[in-house]
Amino acid sequence: MWRPDGSDLRPWKIGVLISPKVKMEPLRIGFLGGGAMCEAILRGLLDKKVVQSSDVWVSDVAESRLEVMRGLGVNATANGRKVVEKASVILLAVKPDTVPEVLRDVHDLIKQSQLLVSICAGVPLQALEDLVPDGVAVVRVMPNTPCLVGAAGSAYALGKNASLANHANIVEAIFGAVGLTVRVPEKLLDAVTGVSGSGPAYVFMFMEALADGGVCAGLPRDIAKKLAVQTVYGSAKMAMENENMHLAELRNRVESPGGTTIAASRALEANSFRATVIGAVMAAAQRSAEMRTKPSPF
């Protein structure tokens, strides 16, 4: 269950809550890749005190990223092998096309007692399992950048060696501390990427356009931005607090007969707003599926 403030979601408590038989050690997390997502997850975990900074190791090839990590008080190194030696959970957070070389470099160090968690878009469990020693548990997670503020939406799928009682518990402890988590069959992770993995970008774009609309209608930019962001935040809060109500019902309550909102809704429909958003989700989901065979050229 998601608790927006992340309270009482420390891993040992999760272990007790979900399965009284599971006794979990404090997490030692090793990130391979210290970029934007590592930072978002890590800041969220440190903020919620799910791990101590001394129990976190991060490797990156960029010195500038290692500096950022040292600034967070965690152990930072250019050597991924040191990270794997220390961690109980290895969190793979490099770009998808870098995954094979990064895992080959540490292959001989990975033990069956460790869990590999990959957040890399489009990289299948089978490919990950082929890159680690036999029997090692692997979980694929698709989180999103709101990890940073404890409001992520993450979905995960368990690999063939990962168990519900143990490995799902660990993943829930990590990603549940920084937002909502759901378990899905792996085949749905491309769709998840289209909705929530990439989703924050569409929402930021929408807020930007909403603010621009305000400026177009005469508002000063700072006021337009504040109102646009608050409107998205307040609407999301209402949708969460009325989860049994259809989203169209919430919309209809704003649309007074003959009023301003229905005029705007008509303009949005005339410009295929919903079809455009659905098309964007499909484009991201298709790109996620395609990344298995066509990696990024960049």
Enumerate binding residues for ligand NAI (CB under 6 A): 32-38, 59-62, 65, 80, 93-96, 98, 102, 119-121, 142-145, 197
Q: Which is nearer to ligand A1CAB, 84 or 155 (CB)?
A: 155
Residue 28 or 295 having the CB closest to ligand NAI: 295
Question: Which residue reads 């961690």 in tokens?
Answer: 87
Number of residues that bind ligand A1CAB (CB under 6 A): 4
Give the burial string for 192-213 (b: 16+ CB within 10 Å, else e): bbbbbbbbeebeeeebeebbee
- Is 93 marked as binding a ligand? yes
Q: Of 89, 121, 158, 224, which lies in the binding site for ligand A1CAB, with binding defined by CB under 6 A?
A: 121
Where helices occur in 96-220 by DSSP H, the ranges are 99-106, 125-130, 169-176, 189-192, 199-216
129 binds, options ligand NAI, ligand A1CAB, none, Cβ within 5 to 8 A by partner type: none
Residue 198 within binding range of ligand A1CAB, rule CB under 6 A:
yes
* Residue 147 sits in the site that holds ligand A1CAB (CB under 6 A): no
Binding segment (CB under 6 A) for ligand A1CAB, from list 23-31, 39-47, 193-201, 235-243: 193-201
Sign of CA dihedral 49, 92, 106, 139: positive
Can you tell me the distance from the alpha carbon of 198 to that of 174, in angstroms, rounded to the nearest whole number? 20
For residues 15 and 153, which CB has a smaller minimum distance to ligand A1CAB in the complex? 153
- In angstroms, the CA 8 to CA 19 distance is 16
Q: How far is the CB of 153 from ligand A1CAB (least distance, A)?
A: 12
What tokens does 258 get?
Answer: 């003959």
Interface with ligand A1CAB includes 193 (CB under 6 A)? yes
- Answer yes or no whether residue 59 interacts with ligand A1CAB by CB under 6 A: no
The answer for residues whose C-beta is within 8 angstroms of residue 221's C-beta and 6 or more apart is 211, 215
> Which residue's entry shows tokens 């979905």?
155
Among 11, 146, 197, 214, binds ligand A1CAB (CB under 6 A): 197
Q: Which is nearer to ligand A1CAB, 118 or 198 (CB)?
A: 198
Is position 109 annotated in a ligand binding site?
no
Query: What does DSSP say about strands 89-92 and 56-59: parallel, antiparallel, or unpaired?
Result: unpaired
95 known ligand binder: yes
3-state secondary structure of 11: helix
- Output the smallest distance, CB 66 to ligand A1CAB, in A: 22
Q: Does 152 show up as a binding residue in the annotation?
A: no
- The closest residue (CB) to ligand A1CAB is 197
Q: Which is nearer to ligand A1CAB, 114 or 288 (CB)?
A: 288
Q: From CA 21, how far away is CA 13, in angstroms rounded? A: 12
- 94 labeled binding residue: yes
Complete edge-to-edge strand list for the sheet that includes strand 137-142: 75-77, 56-59, 29-32, 89-92, 115-118, 137-142, 152-158, 179-183
Q: Cα–Cα–Cα angle for 290, 129, 45, nearest 5°?
A: 85
35 is in an annotated binding site: yes
Annotated binding residue at 91? no
Q: Is 179 annotated as a binding residue?
A: no
| Residues that constitute the known binding site for NADP(+) | 32-37, 93-96
Which residue ranges make up the site for ligand A1CAB (CB under 6 A)? 121, 193, 197-198
